[in-house]
Structure 1
Amino acid sequence: MTLVYVVAGESSGDVLGARLVARLREARPDLRFAGIGGERLAEAGIESLFPMRELALMGLLEVLPNIRALARRLDETVADIAARRPAVLVTIDSPGFALRVAARVRPLGIPVVHYVAPQVWAWRQGRVKRMAGRIDRILALLPFEAPFFERAGIPVTFVGHPVLESGADAGDAARFRRRHGIAEGERVVLVMPGSRRTEVGRLLPIFGETLRLVAGRHPGLRPVVPLAGPVEEAVRDAAAGWTPAPILVRDLADKHDAFAAAEAGLIKSGTSSLEVAMAGVPMVVGYKLNPVTGWLIRRMAKVKYASIVNLLADAPVIPELLIEDCRPPLLAEALGRLLAGEGVAEQREGFARVMSLLSPPSGGSPSEAAARAVLATVRA
């Protein structure tokens, strides 16, 4: 039987990997799977080599204290791949770890497909040259990524964005309000602080204070925070003292119902902004880094926007308050404007334009397009 080895390093990659495995099984029931993942890949039948949460780190100063542990996990991963000799290695997002794995297994002659193009087009563009010798194909989620990587000699397949099959736009607002006892007149605000421990630790105190400020001007606020597996405990701890108290949701259907019920969102920049945009929830994007990492990114950034929605629209559809601007008073002012109805229609018009760009040109769903690309690499 043919073995596919999958490496995912964070929650979003775990979801992508699970969908990919399901589509691969449909196309090739003879396939076997192994690798590293979280809860979703475990449900898909992959027993993780070690806990995925150990890889969910971001930022230079966050990674450095864990460098020895990460190096050990890198060695373990490479040794496991060498022992199993899969027909293809699929690394998903988490480029810091994934591309090191790819470089180490390259001498073994195992084809490597990297799912989710690293955002080197945004900063550190010189890294794309090093990638060319490590991977055989990139599966890109965004339409403008293919030309960038192809210029460096890396084959790319634009497979479409998985947000299109997330169900983010299929929630039931009335069901959510009934389930959580939300009274008529109370206003749901969605809060999404990310899926990495460092992001949660830095953003949730800021978001919590922002909500306290907004609640003083907009009574009846009910914050809702979806829980992501690797950071669930950190979110619960950080949000425990919030005023107003948050509703914490773990179930995916409940999360999508929360999207439908939300009047506005306070969202970490990144993929989550696309998910919220698909649900039509007007939002403010915030992101905080430690000062050193923030300074480096400011100097090296090659793009005008941080959120994918704004990048695809090539316009400031969503207000972005980043790094030194990610402060409760500024966030509260922007969120308050949305709750007052200012700019809501314009955001939703921008969301519709962005969503129209994300379907795979080959047809079908993004996960089906990704599975076709992986299987083509296996056959090659």
Structure 2
Amino acid sequence: MNVFLVAGEMSGDRLGAALMEGLKEVAPDVRFSGVGGPLMQAQGMQSLFPMDELSVMGIAEVLPKYRHLKRRMHQTAEAVLAAQPDVLITIDSPDFCLRVAKEVKAKSNIRTVHYVAPSVWAWRPKRAVKMARVIDQVLALLPFEPPYMEAVGMRCDFVGHPVVSEPVAPEGEVQAFRDDHGIGDAPLLIALPGSRRGEVSRLTPAFGEVVEKLVAAKPDLRVVLPAAGPVAGLVKELVSDWAHAPVVLDPNDVAPDVALARKRAAFRAADVALAASGTVSLELAANATPMVIAYDMSWLSWQIMSRAALIDTVTLVNLVSDTRVVPEFLGPSFKPENIAPAILDVLGNPSAQTEAMALTMQRLGQGAERPGLRAARAVLEGLEG
């Protein structure tokens, strides 16, 4: 069995790696090719080019790189056509992946699967119709998504979210993390400004201002910042002038398994998180770490996206639990003077988010067969039927 996969960012790399592990379990003779990050490469893929070239978000941010991205789209599609796989699986990053699928479908009858349903329930609902022209099957992470995809003729399987099957750090490792970094029993904030260069550059300075305000109110506060490998150097540079220096966890300094264990310990050890929007809110929920979400983008991107939005929150914990307990500060409200008091409130009343986080994990498939294996079975069933 020959499977071609395409992922465009770190969250997609995690999804792809879990799916590849599942495919190897149900189809031991499977072979992989495509575009992926370090986790997918560890499962047996040699990436066509570095995945982080595709980690660009926002209209204004994409425009300067459009020609290069277009060349990569064509290169990827040509590689699919040359490989003639049993199935092409594109993972998230719809602006890139669906263009690749379109080019492949125009020249072949290769089966196409897209992993992560586009958030048509949030904005641009007509995307589902366009997607159905080039995608045969969708693997959905959220339980309420299949009807949106099935309504326009695509097979859609809810496979659960991989975050529910990822282990959390045991208490011994959590305490060891605190001791190793001299944190002790002090309140700990985990800062998560994203994994893309653009968002890290945009968010980190403001996060530093938030930390400064928090330390003024809580002088014993400690801060840890787990950096994604491709942007670790940039993160260190941006926090070098913070008045209250954080502990930066650079995964490039240690073996991958050590880096992952250290990151999990940090998530579990934290009393509160300040995070960019996205999948990270689910990672925090899996660790029962209360959070505040804060995100900014270019003026043009904000104007377009805010006008197109069909929902009143972007935080997945709020959406899946059908609550609004996680505070978020987006676009114009992304200001340190707004964010810092919200973090202090969460520190003072962390239990306000506990029930919503637990419900989110339950609805995403916690306790069921692991999502990567469910996704693999869905892919095979689609091929057979």
TM (norm. structure 1) is 0.95
Corresponding position: 1:252 with 2:260: yes
> Which stretch of the first structure deviates more once superposed, 226-235 or 257-266?
226-235
CA displacement at 1:282 relative to structure 2 = 1.1
Q: CA contact under 8 A between 2:22 and 2:374: conserved in structure 1?
A: no
Distance 1:179 1:13 in 2: 31
Distance 1:151 1:26 in 2: 32
Corresponding position: 1:352 with 2:353: no
The one-letter amino acid of 2:373's match is: E
Q: In the alignment, what sits opposite 2:293?
A: 285
Q: In the alignment, what sits opposite 2:42?
A: 43
Q: In the alignment, what sits opposite 1:5?
A: 4
> Which stretch of the first structure deviates more once superposed, 84-93 or 21-30?
21-30
Look up the SS of the partner of 1:194 in the other structure: coil
Q: In the alignment, what sits opposite 2:211?
A: 211
> Which stretch of the first structure deviates more once superposed, 189-198 or 46-55?
189-198
Distance 1:240 1:378 in 2: 52
CA displacement at 1:169 relative to structure 2 = 6.0
> Which stretch of the first structure deviates more once superposed, 90-99 or 194-203?
194-203
Q: In the alignment, what sits opposite 1:297?
A: 305
Distance 2:140 2:210 in 1: 35
Corresponding position: 1:230 with 2:230: yes
Q: In the alignment, what sits opposite 1:371?
A: 376
Q: In the alignment, what sits opposite 1:263?
A: 271
Q: CA contact under 8 A between 2:174 and 2:265: conserved in structure 1?
A: yes
The one-character-per-residue Cα deviations of 1:25-55 (angstroms, maximum 9, x if unpaired) are 1211111100001111111121110110110
CA displacement at 1:327 relative to structure 2 = 0.7
Q: In the alignment, what sits opposite 1:176?
A: 177
**For structure 2, which runs of at least 5 residues remain unmatched after alignment?**
252-258
Look up the SS of the partner of 1:200 in the other structure: helix
Distance 2:152 2:231 in 1: 36
Identity among equivalent pairs (%): 44
Distance 2:30 2:309 in 1: 41
Cα 1:378–1:236 shift into 2, 3 Å: farther
Tell me the C-alpha RMSD between the 2 structures: 1.5
CA displacement at 1:160 relative to structure 2 = 0.5
Distance 1:168 1:200 in 2: 25
Q: CA contact under 8 A between 1:221 and 1:244: conserved in structure 2?
A: no
The one-character-per-residue Cα deviations of 1:51-93 (angstroms, maximum 9, x if unpaired) are 1011000000000000110011011101111111011001111
1:330 to 335, 338, 344: 338
TM (norm. structure 2) is 0.94
Q: CA contact under 8 A between 2:165 and 2:366: conserved in structure 1?
A: no
Q: In the alignment, what sits opposite 2:199?
A: 199
Q: In the alignment, what sits opposite 2:255?
A: none
Q: CA contact under 8 A between 1:115 and 1:139: conserved in structure 2?
A: yes
Distance 1:312 1:100 in 2: 29
Look up the SS of the partner of 2:139 in the other structure: strand
Q: In the alignment, what sits opposite 1:83?
A: 82
Cα 1:44–1:160 shift into 2, 3 Å: same
Distance 1:188 1:360 in 2: 27
Q: In the alignment, what sits opposite 1:160?
A: 160
CA displacement at 1:240 relative to structure 2 = 2.2
Distance 1:77 1:35 in 2: 8
Distance 1:195 1:170 in 2: 25
The one-letter amino acid of 2:225's match is: V
Q: CA contact under 8 A between 2:190 and 2:224: conserved in structure 1?
A: yes
Look up the SS of the partner of 2:21 in the other structure: helix
Distance 1:137 1:80 in 2: 21
Look up the SS of the partner of 1:119 in the other structure: coil
Distance 2:288 2:298 in 1: 31
Distance 2:102 2:327 in 1: 38
Look up the SS of the partner of 2:32 in the other structure: strand
CA displacement at 1:224 relative to structure 2 = 1.0
Q: How many pairs align? A: 375
> Which stretch of the first structure deviates more once superposed, 254-263 or 225-234?
225-234
CA displacement at 1:179 relative to structure 2 = 2.2
Q: In the alignment, what sits opposite 2:31?
A: 32
